[in-house]
Chain A
Amino acid sequence: MAARRQIPGTTLFDGEQARKGYALNKMCFSFNDAANREAFKADEAGYCNKYGLNDEQRAAIQARNVLQLIAAGGNVYYLAKFAGIFGLDVQDLGAQQTGMSKDQFKAKLLAAGRN
């Protein structure tokens, strides 16, 4: 198989990621439902058990760490539903992943429009 093109700082959500992350993404998909979001908040560990998360996924959920969640197979569209539980938006996620404050991240986006 030809070597895959690597884009720095980017994980393509391919078959390998989709297999690895299935349980994690399935749990996050369940957060479309408000009752499930409440159930997660009431018993995080129990909720992760119910969906069969592995240790890496559990640790990443516990740490609320987006890069770790992606490394564990998470897809950002489902992870956004997890972030929604804490009232975080995609700019919070962007700031965390790039090691910036949210204001710095917003400034970076504004700068992209001035180039």
Chain B
Amino acid sequence: MATLIGGITTSHVPAIGRAIARDLQADPYWKPFFDGFPPVHAWLERVKPDVAVVLYNDHGLNFFLDKMPTFAVGAAPEYRNADEGWGIPVVPPFKGEQDLSWHLIESLVAEEFDLTTCQEMLVDHAFTLPMALLFPGSAAWPVTTVPVCINTVQFPLPSAQRCFKLGQAIGRAIRSWDVAKRVVVVGTGGLSHQLDGERAGFINKDFDLKFMDSLVDDPTWATRYSITELVELAGTQGVELLMWLATRGALDGSVRKVHANYHIPISNTAAGLMVLENAV
């Protein structure tokens, strides 16, 4: 059986791609952000995942409003990045883990999550930048991948509670995958930020810190909020915390916080990072 080794949640701000391309990791603006990652690299080195299931939200690279799935699962042999229109470098392709894709699809549909399945799928910065942060300088990615995309573009969005339950179902599916591989769940996005409207630049540090704490000991805390309430508390794009909630849902019961970092601002965003593993 597969082993679910833990979850990593991180922001995915496009500017990170520019910073990596320009080697700005030690720049004073960027250092407090990039300094959060060496402990994650050490953890990954120790737990050695074979596969990453990446929960993220597409920003108009693979999906447009003509067809907007609430939940989409990749089932492709390979996932490519592409031009998103504002010029961050395209990263090398990612190898898919198709057996796990189909096992996830079968398990999730059996649990009444009616998915869109994608045998061709471009992955945008919300998928690629976290991978670049977790596995820097790799000539080839050391893990195979399964992308899981959650709609945060067009309302209605799936509720926080629904996303948590999706995560729980993903966790059950991974643990019941009949292949002896080690799987990490990666959730990308957030934390508080808002790009649009007169409220652009909104950040809510108190809420973010409370949310991060809740993921350790009180994981359903944020599921009490409606999507509109989450937008009010975390900003229109801060609602990407749904990916963090789903990631936490995938982990069983009690967890141990391996590492966390939080820094304001990266671009318009409160950048967060957490590594959680199941408590033994």
Instruction: Report which A residues bind B (CB closer than 8 A).
Output: 4-5, 7-15, 18, 22, 25-26, 28-29, 31-34, 37, 66-67, 70, 75-81, 83-85, 89-91, 93-94, 97-98, 105, 108-110, 112-113, 115
- Chain A binding surface SS class: helix
- Tally A-B pairs: CB < 8 A: 134
Chain B residues positioned under 8 Å from A11 (CB to CB): 196-197
List 7 additional A-B contacts (Cβ < 8 Å) besides A7-B232, A26-B66, A110-B264: A4-B228, A8-B198, A10-B197, A14-B155, A18-B65, A32-B60, A91-B268
- Chain B binding surface SS class: loop
CA A31 – CA B14 in complex, angstroms?
17
Q: Determine whether B48 belongs to the interface, using a CB cutoff of 8 Å to chain A.
A: no
CA A89 – CA B155 in complex, angstroms?
24
Chain A residues positioned under 8 Å from B199 (CB to CB): 7-10
The listed residue with most B CB atoms (<10 A of its CB), out of A15, A79, A90, A97, is A90
Selecting from B38-46, B77-85, B272-280, the interface stretch reads: B77-85
The listed residue with most B CB atoms (<10 A of its CB), out of A25, A91, A112, is A112
Chain B residues positioned under 8 Å from A66 (CB to CB): 196
Chain B residues positioned under 8 Å from A28 (CB to CB): 60
B203 and A70 contact, CB distance less than 8 A: no
A113 and B264 contact, CB distance less than 8 A: yes
A109 and B203 contact, CB distance less than 8 A: yes
The 25 listed contacts between A and B (C-beta, < 8 Å) are: A8-B199, A9-B200, A10-B196, A11-B196, A12-B228, A12-B236, A13-B153, A14-B155, A29-B60, A32-B84, A32-B85, A34-B83, A75-B153, A76-B195, A76-B196, A76-B236, A77-B153, A83-B86, A84-B86, A84-B87, A90-B268, A93-B195, A98-B201, A112-B201, A113-B265
Instruction: Report which B residues bind A (CB closer than 8 A).
Output: 14-15, 59-61, 64-66, 82-87, 153-156, 194-201, 203, 205, 228-229, 231-232, 236, 263-265, 267-268, 270
B153 and A113 contact, CB distance less than 8 A: no
Chain A residues positioned under 8 Å from B264 (CB to CB): 109-110, 112-113
| From A67, A70, A81, contact of B84 by CB (8 A) | A81
CA A85 – CA B83 in complex, angstroms?
12
* CB within 8 Å for A67 and B85 given contacts A7-B228, A15-B155, A77-B60: no
Taking the nearest CB of chain A, how far is it from the CB of B210, in angstroms? 14
B15 and A89 contact, CB distance less than 8 A: yes
Taking the nearest CB of chain B, how far is it from the CB of A60, in angstroms? 14
In the A-B complex, list the 6 residue pairs whose CB atoms are closest, starting with the nearest.
A84-B86, A113-B264, A9-B199, A81-B85, A9-B198, A112-B203
